[in-house]
Chains A and B, each alone.
Chain A
C-alpha cells in the first residue's frame, strides 16, 4: 500500500487540534497536491519539501502525490507542516522507516533541511499531549517551549536528517530536558522610591492583593505613573499553571524567547494610548492575541486612560467581566484568556491641573466634563478602586524618611493572595454570584452601614458588589475571617465619587 499516515498538530487561537497528514502516492501524471483546506503558507510547503528531499539526496517520486490534511474541513495555516509532509512523502515512497503512531511532528524547513522554530509551540504541545501523543519531534529552537508540556517526550533536532536517522535507527536523538521554571523576583524599581502618598500606596496594595481593577486620577506630577510602574515589584509569584497559561498566549503571539521560553513573571503591559482595538483585543485574519491577553495573569496599565480610543476602551468590557476575549471571524471564533488586573491613570482634565492647589487649570467646566465623559459608565462600573493622587508637597519630596520597601509589601500581598486561593480558588475580584454570597457574608451592622451608604451615595448595584469585594480583600489583609464595618467603611472610600464623573 502506498498510503501512509503521520501525525501533526494545528492551532486555532489558543487551542491545538490533531492534524493527520495522509499521503498517497499513485501512478499517474507527476503531481504534488495538498488538500484539506491548506492556506497559502501550507501550499508553499510543496516547493520547500520538493527542494529538501532532492537536496538531501533522496528521490522525489515522479508520480501523483496526494497529501490530505485531516480533518479536511478545518483551515490549516503556517509552515509547521513542512516537516510532517516531507517525512510522509519519504515514508510513503518507502525511502525511510515509518514513525511510531504516537509520535507527532511539527516544524518549518529551510531549503537545505534545517528546522526553523514555529510560533505557538507550547499550546500545540499541550494539545498533542492531551490527545495521547507520547513523542513530539520539533525544531531545537522551539523545543524548550514544547518541553513545558510535562509528560511529552520532546525530540529536538536542528536538521531533518537527524530525525530521519532517528526513525531509521541510525542515530538516536535524546529527548530534551524538561525546562525548569526558575522563580525569579522582579528587580529594579522599588516602592521605597516613592515619597509620601500613604493613601495611594495603601490603595495600590489593596488592589494588588485582591487583583482589583483601579483607576488613579490626579494632577500632573503626583507620581501616578511612577507608582504604577512599581507594581510588578509587589506582584505575587505565578503558579506553574499560570505560567503555562501565560506562556501559551505569548507563544501564539510569537513573543517567547528560544532559550528561556517560560514567562515567569506576571506580565506588566503598558501599551501607548494610540493602540488600535485590534492591538488591544487581538486581531488579524487569524487573530493573534492582543495586549489584553498578553497581560493575562498580570497587569494591564493604561496610562492617560481617557486618551485611549473609544473602541479600545469599550473592548475592555468583556475581558474585564469574563476574563477572556472572544474574537469572531467568518469561519470561527477565537477565545483568548485575558484575566488581567487593569490599572488606569488619568489627569482630571485636559490641561492636567484641575484640582491642583495652584489653580493653574485653564479648562472650562464643560471641557472637564467632556474629558471625564470619554470613559463610559460601563467601563467605570467595572473598576473597583478609584483613587485620587494629590500632588506631592516639597517637604515630602525632600524628606529623608525611608518609605516601606516593595519586599515588605510583597510579603503581605503574597499572604493575602494565598488566603484567597486556599479559601475560594480565585482572587476576590473574580468572585461571582454564588461564590460571593458564600465568602462575602457581612454582619448585621455591616448591612446597616451598606444600606445607608447605598442611599447616601446613590450607589449602583454593581458598585455595591464592588465595595463588598474590596472590603473582603481589606478584611483578608488584616487577617479577619469576617468582613467588619471598618473594612466596609474603608472600601466605600474607594468608590467612584460623584465628582470624578459629573
Chain B
C-alpha cells in the first residue's frame, strides 16, 4: 500500500504456536497466543529482547528516559519491545531506531491498523526496520479488553521489563505484573515523588522491582556487552587474540592457567596476548584473573 525507498511494505505473516519461528520465551508463558500476525523481520523473534513500557501521558523526563533506555539497550544488540502507544512506548521505539537497533511493537489490534493514528510514521519505520506483531486478526480494532491481553505478550517476549513512568492505574503496571508472574526481571526507572506520574514506577521499586541507575544496568545484569564494542573488538584482532578474547567472553573470567588450557597456548604466548588485548582496551586483569574490559 505504501512505497518506502522503493521497498514494498511487508505483508502479514502468520506464525503459529508450533512453528519454529515462534519465540521460545513466549511459548513458555502460561497462555501463549496460538497465532502471531507479524509484519517485518521475523528473525527478531529469536533475539534477546527487553520490554520498555510506560504511561501515555509522559513527562519530559519520562520521554528522555524511555528514549535513552531504548537507545542504550539497542546498542547492546538487545531488541526493544513496546506497545507503540503514545508517550513512553513511542519514545522507546524511537530510541531503538535512532541507535540503528531492532524493535518490536506489539499491537492490541490488527497489524494493519495504526493505533494511535498519530504514530503512522513510526509504525512504517518499525515495520521496515523491525517488526510489528499482534495476536489479533487483521482488521480487528483495539478495545478495553485487547490491551491487557496484549501486555502479556510484551512481557512474555522479553527477558526483562522496564517500566519507565507509570501513574497509579497505568496499563504498564499490568505488564510488570505479568512479567513477574512469568518469572522475568522487572525494572523501574525512579521518578520524583512530587508527581503522580512517578507513583506507579516508584511503587514497583518499593515492591521489589530493581531500580535503574543507568540504562546500562539492565544490559550488564543480563550479561551483555555492547554489540558495537564486540564487533569493533573482534574486527581488530588477530587469530590468536580472537581465541583468547572468545575464551574470556564465553567464560566471563579466567586465570592465565585456565586460558592456557582452553586455548592450548603456552603461558608465554597467553601472557603476551593478554597484554596486547589489555592495551587495546578489550581485556582487563586483576588478581591474576582476566576479564573483558568494561
Contacts and interface: CB of A to CB of B under 8 A. Distances in A.
Contacts of B2: none
Interface stretch (B61-69, B193-201, B285-293): B285-293
Nearest to B274: A493
25 contacts: A196-B257, A198-B256, A198-B267, A199-B256, A201-B267, A202-B266, A202-B267, A217-B288, A348-B287, A354-B287, A387-B288, A388-B287, A388-B288, A388-B289, A390-B256, A390-B288, A390-B289, A452-B279, A453-B275, A486-B269, A487-B272, A489-B272, A489-B273, A492-B275, A493-B285
Contact of B266 (A198, A452, A474, A497): A198
A492 B258 CA distance: 19
Given A348-B287, A497-B286, A199 B272 contact: no
A413 to B, nearest CB: 15
A489 B260 contact: no
A388 B257 CA distance: 11
User: What does DSSP make chain B's interface, helix, strand, loop or mixed?
Assistant: helix
Most buried by B among A452, A456, A489: A489
Interface residues of B, number: 24
Interface residues of A, number: 32
Contacts of A390: 255-258, 288-289
Contacts of A500: 287
A449 to B, nearest CB: 7
Contacts of B276: 489
A490 interface: yes
Contacts of B272: 486-487, 489-490, 493
Given A202-B268, A490-B269, 19 more contacts: A198-B256, A198-B260, A199-B267, A218-B288, A348-B287, A354-B287, A355-B289, A390-B255, A452-B279, A486-B272, A489-B272, A489-B275, A489-B276, A492-B275, A493-B271, A493-B285, A494-B271, A497-B286, A498-B286
Interface of A: 196-199, 201-202, 217-218, 348, 354-355, 387-390, 449, 452-453, 456-457, 474, 486-487, 489-490, 492-494, 497-500
Contacts of A474: 268
Given A199-B255, A199-B256, A390-B257, A490 B268 contact: yes
Contacts, number: 73
Nearest to A487: B272
B278 interface: yes
A404 B273 CA distance: 24
Contacts of A456: 278-279, 281
Nearest to A494: B271
Contacts of B275: 453, 489-490, 492-493
